[in-house]
Amino acid sequence: MDLRLYDTLSGEKRVFAPIDADNVRMYVCGPTVYDFAHIGNARPVIVFDLLFRMLRYIYGPDQVTYVRNITDVDDKINDRATRDFPGLPLNEAIRKVTEKTLVQFHADVDALGALRPTFEPRATDFVLPRADGKTDMVTLIKELIARGHAYEAGGEVLFDTQSMPDYGRLSGRKLDEQQAGARIAVDAHKKHPTDFVLWKQSSADEPGWESPWGRGRPGWHIECSAMSAAYLGDVFDIHGGGLDLIFPHHENEIAQSRCAHGTQAMANYWMHNGFLQVEGEKMSKSTGNFVTIRELLNDWPGEVVRLNMLKTHYRSPMDWTLKGMEESAKTLDDWYWVAADDRGGHPSTKVMEALSDDLNTPQTIAALHGLRNLAAAGDDKARGKFAASLRMLGFLNESAADWSARKQQSSGIDAARIDALIADRTAARARKDFKESDRIRDELAAMGVTIKDSKDGTTWEIAR
Ligand SMILES: [Zn+2]
């Protein structure tokens, strides 16, 4: 079964052929760590985790290298550091902001059932030449200058976009189109308006590193060119990220990497997940529909968030709704119950076929519903395939008992406590202590639990 992936650069769905099947290499742009991640950030995390799992399944778990960087140098981080830790020296304040945010990010993505990438390099560790000789940003910038692709002007080092004949291919933008309407006055020191910053000088109150171009800091794009080369080489298999990164970020990553290494490609497949809206509107802090992963996880298990995300194909725009979450929660309750902790089977062919078609998750979920129905009707083989497929997709990370217990806990109900109270009440009735049995019934009612006595014993349910 061939894995086929949609490549933004060629505009086609193509059969995936790795450069080296013993080391399949994928890079995905990671978070800028200054604030809680929002559900828009969760989309690439979940989508590329699914692809990572798929590649591990096909090529073997040790045959896939997944790198997701951490951007810990950024003007937004500086602003946050001076706001939150005004008394501290800047470097210490920045470290506090990034450490705290990173711990939170890891907790969030773990809860979403996402495997940790093989490497999670931090930008600040790759600014200056390294003892281990891995690619760094300063060396890459020097190489770009030496090859005639970058120049110093106005206190910056800039990439010379006109030095690259096919600059703009990923986003389909042409240089001369962009010349028109550009605000030349603002960029007077640039040779062309699309030229972008590789290095800029830092003032005394900004973080900086000593470089051949004075004390300064790198531009955003160069960090991904450095860290991908450091772990994956000059040309690798898959580069991923959100649609909003195509221009300028990925366009500029390609320009830097290809021109520094003298290669025809940076990555062979460029994959982009679509946008995400909330309740039909663009997510923004001002309209109040800005939802962090943390807030969602306070209300829902991470697997519900994961399923809800995968109901939409990764390239389609997605509308995140409360109704969708409620349906996803119901579906997972049912799937946990039907799968019944089965550990027998292998993922079903139908599921793997759907996933192999550019991660067609809506079709995958349809196949899962089919298996679920067979399993619920008593087909043990289908149950094994159903459970194995769900695990492959990153679900069933807990036992069915834990899942339902957690659900009861989250609704404020402690099933063990209720069972104990009912046993006490049965004992009280047996010794004809009706005062005590009524008291226990009232206590249960106060907890929102109604009980029903029959000749077979006492059953209970949560009053709605
Ligand atoms: Zn990047």
pLDDT digits (tens, 9 = 90+) for 343-394: 988 999 999 999 999 999 999 999 999 999 999 999 999 999 999 999 999 9
- Residues 261 and 403 grouped into a single domain: no
Q: Is 233 helix (H, G, I), strand (E, B) or coil?
A: coil
Count Cα neighbours of 399 within 13 Å in the Cβ-side half-sphere: 3
CATH of the domain at 310: 1.10.730.10
Report whether the peptide linkage leading into residue 248 is cis, meaning its omega lies within 30 degrees of zero: yes
- Residues 130 and 260 grouped into a single domain: yes
CA of 252 to the centre of ligand 1 (A): 9
CA of 197 to the centre of ligand 1 (A): 15
Q: Which residues surround ligand 1, an ion (CB under 5 A)?
A: 29, 224
Edge-to-edge strands, sheet with 64-68: 64-68, 24-28, 236-242, 267-273
Last residue of a domain, one of 234, 250, 273: 273
Indicate the number of domains in the chain.
3
Name the DSSP letter for residue 35.
Answer: S
The total of other beta-carbon atoms located within 10 Å of residue 258's CB is: 20
CA of 30 to the centre of ligand 1 (A): 7
Last residue of a domain, one of 390, 408, 426: 408
- Residues 309 and 434 grouped into a single domain: no
CA of 236 to the centre of ligand 1 (A): 14
Q: Is 433 helix (H, G, I), strand (E, B) or coil?
A: coil
Name residue 355's amino acid: L
Torsion (CA) 372, 376, 378, 383 in degrees, nearest 10: 40
CA of 440 to the centre of ligand 1 (A): 61
CA of 28 to the centre of ligand 1 (A): 7
Query: For residues 253 and 224, is the Cβ–Cβ distance under 8 A?
Result: yes
pLDDT digits (tens, 9 = 90+) for 331-352: 999 999 999 999 988 999 999 9
CA of 221 to the centre of ligand 1 (A): 6
pLDDT of residue 177: 67
CA of 432 to the centre of ligand 1 (A): 73
Name the DSSP letter for residue 235.
Answer: S
pLDDT digits (tens, 9 = 90+) for 41-96: 999 999 999 999 999 999 999 999 999 999 999 989 999 999 999 999 888 999 99
- Residues 142 and 177 grouped into a single domain: yes
- Residues 286 and 420 grouped into a single domain: no
CA of 29 to the centre of ligand 1 (A): 4
CA of 144 to the centre of ligand 1 (A): 18
CA of 237 to the centre of ligand 1 (A): 15
CATH of the domain at 231: 3.40.50.620
User: How far apart, in Å, are the Cα atoms of 192 and each of 153, 249, 335?
Assistant: 12, 17, 57
Nearest to 67 by CA among 29, 32, 20, 109: 29
Nearest to 222 by CA among 309, 280, 135: 135
Query: For residues 57 and 392, is the Cβ–Cβ distance under 8 A?
Result: yes
Residue that has been written with the tokens 């192999």 in this structure: 356
Last residue of a domain, one of 273, 304, 331: 273
Check pLDDT > 90 for residue 284: no
- Residues 342 and 357 grouped into a single domain: yes
Nearest to 335 by CA among 359, 312, 301: 301
Distance in angstroms between the alpha carbons of the first and the last residue of the chain: 48
- Residues 183 and 93 grouped into a single domain: yes
CA of 99 to the centre of ligand 1 (A): 20
- Residues 339 and 437 grouped into a single domain: no
Domain encompassing residue 194 = 4-273
Residue that has been written with the tokens 């006055």 in this structure: 185
Residue that has been written with the tokens 């997944």 in this structure: 66
CA distance 417 to 395: 29
- Residues 299 and 361 grouped into a single domain: yes
CA of 74 to the centre of ligand 1 (A): 13
Nearest to 82 by CA among 96, 63, 101, 100: 96
φ and ψ at residue 99, rounded to 5 degrees: -60, -50
- Residues 19 and 139 grouped into a single domain: yes
- Residues 396 and 317 grouped into a single domain: yes
pLDDT digits (tens, 9 = 90+) for 138-172: 999 999 999 999 999 999 999 999 999 999 999 99
pLDDT digits (tens, 9 = 90+) for 163-217: 999 999 999 988 776 655 555 555 789 999 999 999 999 998 889 999 999 999 9
The token duo for 243 is 């649609």
What's the angle, vertex CA 324, arms to CA 322 and CA 328, rounded to 5?
115
- Residues 286 and 422 grouped into a single domain: no
